[in-house]
Chain A
Amino acid sequence: MSDNNLKEQIEELIYREADHADGWELTQWLAMWADGEVLYEVGPLDTPNAESMSHNDILYLLSDNRFRLEQRVIRMGKATAHAEYPVRSRIRHNYSHLRNIKTDGEAITFKVNMVVTRTRRDTEGVAVIPGYVLFKLAQQGGSLKIREKRVFLDLHVLSKPGTMSIII
C-alpha cells in the first residue's frame, strides 16, 4: 500500500467515525471498532505527559475496554440517559493535521488534531473542545478497524457543559 493510499484510507475512516459520532449513529459507530479487546479513553485534564501514563496508574476522564464501550453505547441509546435525553447535544468533530502514520505489522498508528463543537440547550452557548487523538487501527477482514482511540484535551476544566455524555 502506498503512503498516499494509506493516508486516504485513514482519512476516510476517521471522517466516517466522526460522522457516526456526530449523528448519534451509535450502533454504526460501535461497528467500526475491531473485534477483541479495544481501548477508548479520554486522558486526565491538565496533566503533563498524560499520554505516556496508563489509566491503570492515573485517573483518566474515561477509559473503556470492550465491555464498557459496549455498555456505554447501550446506555447512550436509552431514554434514561438523562444528560442527553430528550434533546441530544449537537456535536461536530473536526479532525486535521494528520501525522505520525506508522505501520507495525497489522497495526497502524497515527496522531490527529481535533476540535469538537458541542451545543446543548439554548442557554449554554457553544462549547469548543480542543485536543488531539492517538489512534490505533487494525487490519481485519480486509478493512481497517479501530483498536484504540485515545483522546487528550487542551482543557484545564471540563465546562459548559461539565460532562462527557457524548462520543468525543
Chain B
Amino acid sequence: MSKIDKFESRFIQYDPAGRVFRVNRDAYTSASVFEEEKKKILYKSWIVLGHESEVANKGDFVTRRVIDKELIFNRDAQGNVNVFFNSCMHRGPAVCKEKSGNTKTFVCPYHGWAFRANGQLVSAGSNEADAGYPPSYFEPGGVSLMRVKNVAQRAGFYFVNFDENAMPLDDFLQDAGKRLDRIASQSAVGFEMIVGVHEYDINANYKLLCENSYDGYHVLQTHATYVDYMGQVLKGSDIDPGVRGVALTFGNGHAAFEMPIRAGRPIAQWLPHWGEAAKKLIEDKRKEVIARLGEEVGANVCDMHSNMVVFPNSIINDQQTILARTIIPLSQNRMRVRAWTVAPKDEHPKLRKIRMENILSFLGPGGFATPDDVSMLEWAQTAYESTDVKWNDFSKGITADEETMRTTANYNDELQMRAYWLQWDKMMAAK
C-alpha cells in the first residue's frame, strides 16, 4: 500500500486530489462498531503487555488486563516467560489476586488447585482430592493454566496477540520495531521498571488518546500553559524553545513524531538549573552513547525525542523518560490508561532524580499537560455523542500524491493519523 486513489468507505472519505481526509464519528461513538473492532482489530493485533524488567527473576509475576482479558505475565523456574489467562482450570476464579510478586505456584482460593509457575497443575488441593482425578492431570502435558499462544518481545517490550493466526511480531511492527530498538539503545546494560504507575480513566474513545499522543498540531494551543512553564524552565539556557520536527510513518498503521528535545533529559540534554555536576554526567552519557552507536545514530538517540503509536492502542513515548501508555478500551466512550516508565538500570542517582522530577512536571494526571489533553478528548467525545456533526477532519498537510507508508512529513501535519485510520479502515473492511 502506498499511493491510494480517492475512495469512500463506511468510515473514511479520502480524496487526495481534493486534499481531503475525513473520518466518520461512528468510529468513536458506536457500541456496535466497538464490538466489531474488538474482533477485527484489537484481538488481531499485537498489544503491549509490559516490559521484560517486570519479570527479571525466576518466579516474578505481574497480573494485568489487556483489552478485556485478565492475564498473568511471569517467569517460571526454568527461566521461560509465560502469559496465562488468570482463571483456574477447575471452576474459574483468578488463581492470582496480587498485582505483582514472586511465587513458585499459583493456588486457586476456591478448591485449592495449585499450578506451577510454568502453568502445570501440581495439586487439586489435597491427597484425597488428587486421588479423585486421573494421574495424567498432574503430569507434563496434563492440565495447565491456559496459555496465551502469541507472546513475543522486541527491545524488551513484551506484546501479546489473541489471534490464532497472528503474524510474527516483527512483521507486524515493520519499522516501528526499529524505533523500539533505537529507544532501547539509550542503555548498554538494559532497563528497570520504576515503581509507581499512573493509572487513570478518560471518558473518551481510546483512539482519541492515540491521536492526541503524536499530534504535534495541538501542542501550542492545548498546552499554552506548559509552553509558558517551559519558557521559565529554559530561562538562561541556549536551548531553542521553538517546536519543530517531523512525523514518521512506519507501516501497518504505526507512526510517530520526532522532535529535538527541549525539556532536558538524562540522555542527553542538560539544563542549567540542574547544576554543573549533572552537566558532566550528561556529557559523559552522550559520549558513551555516541561511542557505542556512531555519530549519526548516537546524536539522534541523545538529541531527539519521539512519541509513537504502535497500532492500534500502544503508546511508547521517548520523552523526558521512556514512557509507555497502554490503553484498556473499556467501551466505545471510556478507556483506562496505564502509564509506566523504564530507566537505565545503571543510572546515576543524580540523573535518576532529574529524570523523576522531569516526568512529574509534564506527564501524568497531576502534571502540567495531561489534564488539558484529557479535557480535550472528553469534550470531543461529548460533542460526537450530542451533535449531528458526522465527520472529523484529518486533511492537514495532505498532498495529491501522498504516500502514507514509511514516509516523512512536518510534525504538525496529520499524516500519522491518516496512516492510522487507513490501517484501521482496512482491517474493519475484512469479512
- A61 in the interface (beta carbon within 8 A): yes
Question: Does B195 contact A44, Cβ atoms closer than 8 Å?
Answer: yes
Segment 162-213 of B: residues with Cβ below 8 Å from A: 194-203
Contact of A83 among B357, B360, B371, B382 (CB under 8 A): B371
Question: Does B360 contact A55, Cβ atoms closer than 8 Å?
Answer: yes
Tell me which residues across on chain B come within 8 A of A65, comparing CB atoms: 357
Question: Does B360 contact A60, Cβ atoms closer than 8 Å?
Answer: yes
State how many angstroms separate the Cβ of B373 from the closest Cβ of chain A. Answer: 9
Binds A, one of B4-12, B41-49, B126-134, B361-369: B361-369
Question: Does A164 contact B232, Cβ atoms closer than 8 Å?
Answer: no
| Interface 1/0 per residue, A66-91 and B, CB below 8 Å | 00100110110010111110000000
Question: Does B356 contact A59, Cβ atoms closer than 8 Å?
Answer: yes
Q: A44-B195, A161-B374, A163-B370 are in contact. Are A59 and B359 (CB under 8 A)?
A: yes
Total interface residues in chain A, CB < 8 Å? 41
Question: Does A58 contact B375, Cβ atoms closer than 8 Å?
Answer: no
Contact of B196 among A58, A123, A163 (CB under 8 A): A58
Q: A78-B225, A83-B372, A162-B337 are in contact. Are A59 and B194 (CB under 8 A)?
A: yes
Q: How far apart are the CA atoms of A64 and B202 in the complex, in Å?
A: 24
Closest B residue to A59 by beta carbon equals B196
Q: A56-B352, A80-B225, A82-B222 are in contact. Are A61 and B371 (CB under 8 A)?
A: no
Q: How far apart are the CA atoms of A70 and B177 in the complex, in Å?
A: 41
Q: How far apart are the CA atoms of A35 and B337 in the complex, in Å?
A: 37
Contact of A158 among B201, B224, B232, B357 (CB under 8 A): B201
Tell me which residues across on chain B come within 8 A of A160, comparing CB atoms: 201
- A97 in the interface (beta carbon within 8 A): no
For chain A, what secondary structure do more than half of its interface residues adopt (helix, strand, loop), or is it mixed? loop
Question: Does A44 contact B196, Cβ atoms closer than 8 Å?
Answer: yes
State how many angstroms separate the Cβ of B340 from the closest Cβ of chain A. Answer: 8
Tell me which residues across on chain B come within 8 A of A84, comparing CB atoms: 371
Tell me which residues across on chain A come within 8 A of B146, comparing CB atoms: none
Binds B, one of A12-20, A45-53, A102-110, A137-145: A45-53
- A62 in the interface (beta carbon within 8 A): yes
Q: How far apart are the CA atoms of A156 and B198 in the complex, in Å?
A: 10
Q: A61-B365, A71-B229 are in contact. Are A162 and B201 (CB under 8 A)?
A: yes
For chain B, the bracket of interface size reads 35 or more
- B341 in the interface (beta carbon within 8 A): yes
Q: A56-B356, A57-B195, A58-B194 are in contact. Are A157 and B365 (CB under 8 A)?
A: no
Q: How far apart are the CA atoms of A165 and B369 in the complex, in Å?
A: 10
Q: How far apart are the CA atoms of A47 and B194 in the complex, in Å?
A: 12
- A42 in the interface (beta carbon within 8 A): yes
Q: How far apart are the CA atoms of A60 and B340 in the complex, in Å?
A: 11
Q: A47-B196, A53-B195, A80-B225 are in contact. Are A62 and B336 (CB under 8 A)?
A: no
Tell me which residues across on chain A come within 8 A of B371, comparing CB atoms: 81-84, 163-165
- B89 in the interface (beta carbon within 8 A): no
State how many angstroms separate the Cβ of A39 from the closest Cβ of chain B. Answer: 12
- A159 in the interface (beta carbon within 8 A): yes
- A63 in the interface (beta carbon within 8 A): yes
Q: A56-B352, A59-B359, A157-B336 are in contact. Are A162 and B197 (CB under 8 A)?
A: no
Tell me which residues across on chain A come within 8 A of B364, comparing CB atoms: 59, 61-62
Tell me which residues across on chain A come within 8 A of B359, comparing CB atoms: 59
Question: Does A58 contact B195, Cβ atoms closer than 8 Å?
Answer: yes
State how many angstroms separate the Cβ of B380 from the closest Cβ of chain A. Answer: 12
Q: A61-B366, A75-B225 are in contact. Are A156 and B199 (CB under 8 A)?
A: yes
Q: How far apart are the CA atoms of A55 and B224 in the complex, in Å?
A: 26
Question: Does B196 contact A81, Cβ atoms closer than 8 Å?
Answer: no
Most chain B CB atoms below 10 A, which of A50, A53, A160, A163: A163
24 A-B pairs whose Cβ atoms sit less than 8 Å apart in the complex: A46-B99, A56-B349, A56-B353, A57-B356, A59-B198, A61-B198, A62-B360, A63-B357, A63-B360, A68-B361, A75-B228, A78-B225, A80-B224, A82-B371, A83-B371, A83-B375, A123-B382, A157-B336, A158-B200, A159-B200, A161-B374, A162-B201, A162-B374, A163-B371
Give chain A's interface residues, CB within 8 Å of chain B.
Answer: 42, 44-47, 50, 53, 55-65, 68, 71-72, 74-75, 78, 80-84, 123-124, 156-165
Nearest 10 Cβ contacts at the A-B interface:
A62-B366, A59-B196, A162-B200, A44-B196, A164-B366, A83-B371, A163-B371, A165-B371, A158-B200, A80-B224
